[in-house]
Each structure stands twice: as structure tokens, then as C-alpha cells.
Amino acid sequence: MKQLLKTLTETFGPSGYEDAVRDLILKEVKPLADEIRVDALGNLIARKKPLKGAKSPKRIMLAAHMDEIGVIASHIDKKGFVRFSNIGGTFGRYTLGARVRFLNGVKGVVGYDRLEQINDLLPINKMYIDVGATSKADCPVKVGDVAVFEQAFTEMGERIAAKSLDDRAGVAVLIETLRGIKSTQNDLYFVFTTQEEVGSHGAGTAAYGIDPDLGIAVDVTPTGDTPASLKMVMELGKGPCIKIRDAFMLADPRMVTWMIQTAEKAKIPYQREVLLVGSSDAREIQVARAGVIAGAVSIPVRYVHSASEMVDYRDLKNSVKLLIALLGKDASL
């Protein structure tokens, strides 16, 4: 899974431009799924059918988003410096000094107009991208061009640092889960969604089309295990997090109970997640059509929405184990 994760994180794919990531995922899941399709918003949907003769199989949708945060060029000045806006939650504190790569291959460095005080908040509307141009005429970037962080995949023992682990970590976990399920009593839909970072648009439309009985988002969650962090219990290396609540949804208590009981029975380490900021595809799945019993399995990640997000590899492996344990059994909640 490490090599898969490395390839996924190093692939370009901000919201709305997930094509290369989808092509990569398609190669992985094509031999594993019974049906595959791509819908109008670009979601990749891989179906694993239930065993013949399965009694009242539950239609279960699992979602991990393909897109990553990025920036979009909004103005080129006379000296060739590129002003930009955000795609998703691109934070100023992580963006200054970062290297970025545009879809056309052009690379740049993010600079700032002028720092009056070194500890000032850093709004991105005071930033620019230096692509090495000397004038507007020789700038290789046009208004509307999109870019993502440029950062190498790095292993540090059991810890991994890379860009776009939000949510390529979840994508890798879903692929490995599909690989590990040989048969199931349920009707499974593995959905690799688009545009989560700008409002979970892909998950909402996919859930409307699938009309699932149950929905599980597989995404990341910020941790509370770094100095002076928010008071949250999620930590690296302590297992997948079972979502109870985040800033925009309450997970269905029946889903929470099912996940916790399954983890405890299988002796899989897990954490209880109450997230104070952010959400996931689960919120859109939950309110699709007439409503869906929904929850989430979250992978703890440090430095979310930076160029160097960090996960613990053991959490990824245990997330796969938990999902296989959930999906391989009767899903009557």
C-alpha cells in the first residue's frame, strides 16, 4: 500500500481536475470490481455485487475523495508575478514559501508582498507565485490555470509525510479494502468522489444515483496530539477514528455502534472522533434523497491542508481491517 500511496499523492488532482487520479485508480480497481462506471461529475464508481442467494443485501456506499486543495491563477502583473485564489481550504500559514506545480507543468514559489510583522496572519490575497518570468508576456501561466503543492513523499519510520494525504490516504484504504474482500453479503459501491474540498459535490450526486441504505465516508481527521493543538483525542498510531460528530454532521448512532462493536470484536484499535473543525463526504451522503444512515471512518492526519501532511502507516492498515470486518458481514443495524 505504501507504493500505491506514494503514486497517488504525487499525482496532480485539485478539485475539478481529478482525471489523472481517476485514471490511476481505475487501473487498480478494474480487475477487482464487478461493474465500473464514471458519472457526469467524474466520480468513479466500482461495484462489488453480493453473493448469489444473499438474503436482503444492504446497498452500502463507501466514499473517498480524489481531489486535493490547490490554487487558481487570478491575475498576472506586468512583471510576470501570478496572483491567485484558493481551491478548497488553502491556508496562508502553510502556503507562503511553498512550491507549486501547475497543470501544464510550470513550477513556482509562493512569495508575499511585505511582512510588517513576522507573526502577522498571512492572507493569500497578499501572496503571489514567482514562476521565473520577467514580464507578463513571457509568463507561462494564464488566468484560470490551476496548481497544487509540490512536495516529495517521505517515510519516517511508521510515519509518512506527503501532500494530498487528504484524501489519497482514504483512496488507498478503499482500494486495499476492495482488494481484500473476496465475497460479501452486501451490495457494495466503492465511490472515488470529486470536488469534496469545495463542498462534497461529487458525493452528493453519487449518493443520489446509488440511493444507498448505508453510507461510509473514508477521509482524514485532524489530530489533537501536537503542542498547543485543539483539545481533541485523535492521535497518530492509535487506530482509525470512528466519527461521532464533526462541524457539519452527527453520525447516525446506529452506525457508530455497529463500527465500535465490530472493531472491538475483531480486536482492531480504534478512536472515537469528535471533530471541532471540518467535515467529510458523509454529510452529503446523509442528506441524499430521503436520507441515509451514514457515518465515517477517519484516518488521523497531522498538518492537514499543508504540503506535508502526516499519517501513521499502522492507522491505514487498521482502517483496511476495520472496513473488511464491517463489509464482509451482515449489515443489519
- Residue 65: alpha-carbon gap to chain centroid: 5
Average pLDDT over residues 211-232: 93
- What is the rounded CA–CA span in Å between residue 253 and residue 48? 26
Look at residue 92 in the predicted model and tell me its pLDDT.
87
Look at residue 330 in the predicted model and tell me its pLDDT.
72
Look at residue 119 in the predicted model and tell me its pLDDT.
63
- Decide which of 277 and 85 is more confident: 85
Look at residue 257 in the predicted model and tell me its pLDDT.
97
Look at residue 195 in the predicted model and tell me its pLDDT.
96
Partnered with residue 160 across adjacent β-strands are 155, 311
Residue 252: pLDDT band by 50, 70, 90 thresholds?
A: very high
- Decide which of 20 and 91 is more confident: 20
- What is the rounded CA–CA span in Å between residue 280 and residue 218? 8
Output the CA–CA distances (angstroms, integers) from residue 256 to 35, 100, 126, 221, in the order listed: 29, 39, 43, 16
pLDDT per residue over 46-72, tens digit each?
999 998 888 889 999 999 999 999 999
Residue 73: pLDDT band by 50, 70, 90 thresholds?
A: very high
Output the CA–CA distances (angstroms, integers) from residue 32 to 179, 181, 317, in the order listed: 6, 9, 19
pLDDT of residue 243 exceeding 90, the answer is: yes
DSSP state of 51: P
Strand order, beta sheet including 59-65: 35-38, 44-48, 187-193, 59-65, 214-222, 293-301, 241-245, 271-274
- What is the rounded CA–CA span in Å between residue 216 and residue 218? 6
Residue 231: pLDDT band by 50, 70, 90 thresholds?
A: confident
Query: Which residues make Cβ contacts (< 8 Å) with residue 253, sequence separation at least 6?
Result: none
Average pLDDT over residues 184-193: 96
Look at residue 21 in the predicted model and tell me its pLDDT.
98
- What is the rounded CA–CA span in Å between residue 251 and residue 292? 10
Average pLDDT over residues 257-276: 96
- Domain limits of the chain? 2-68+163-327, 70-149
Residue 196 is among the residues annotated as catalytic for this protein:
yes
Specify the CATH class of 2-68+163-327 in words.
alpha beta
The percentage of the chain sitting over the pLDDT mark of 90, rounded to a whole number, equals 86
Helical (H) or strand (E) element with 253: helix 253-265
Contact between residue 197 and residue 17 where contact means Cβ atoms under 8 Å apart: no
pLDDT of residue 269 exceeding 80, the answer is: yes
pLDDT per residue over 114-173, tens digit each?
776 666 678 898 999 999 999 999 999 999 999 999 999 999 999 999 999 999 999 999
Mean of all residue pLDDT scores within the chain: 94
- What is the rounded CA–CA span in Å between residue 290 and residue 280? 19
Contact between residue 302 and residue 166 where contact means Cβ atoms under 8 Å apart: no
Look at residue 297 in the predicted model and tell me its pLDDT.
98
How many residues are present in the chain?
333
pLDDT per residue over 281-296, tens digit each?
999 999 999 999 999 9
SS3 324: helix
Question: What would the DSSP string read from start to end of 114-128?
Answer: --SSTT----GGGEE
Look at residue 118 in the predicted model and tell me its pLDDT.
63
pLDDT of residue 2 exceeding 70, the answer is: yes
Residues 28, 196, 197, 309: which is the catalytic one? 196
pLDDT of residue 33 exceeding 90, the answer is: yes
Look at residue 120 in the predicted model and tell me its pLDDT.
65
CATH topology of domain 70-149: Elongation Factor Tu (Ef-tu); domain 3 (2.40.30)
Look at residue 219 in the predicted model and tell me its pLDDT.
97
Average pLDDT over residues 94-104: 93
Partnered with residue 219 across adjacent β-strands are 298
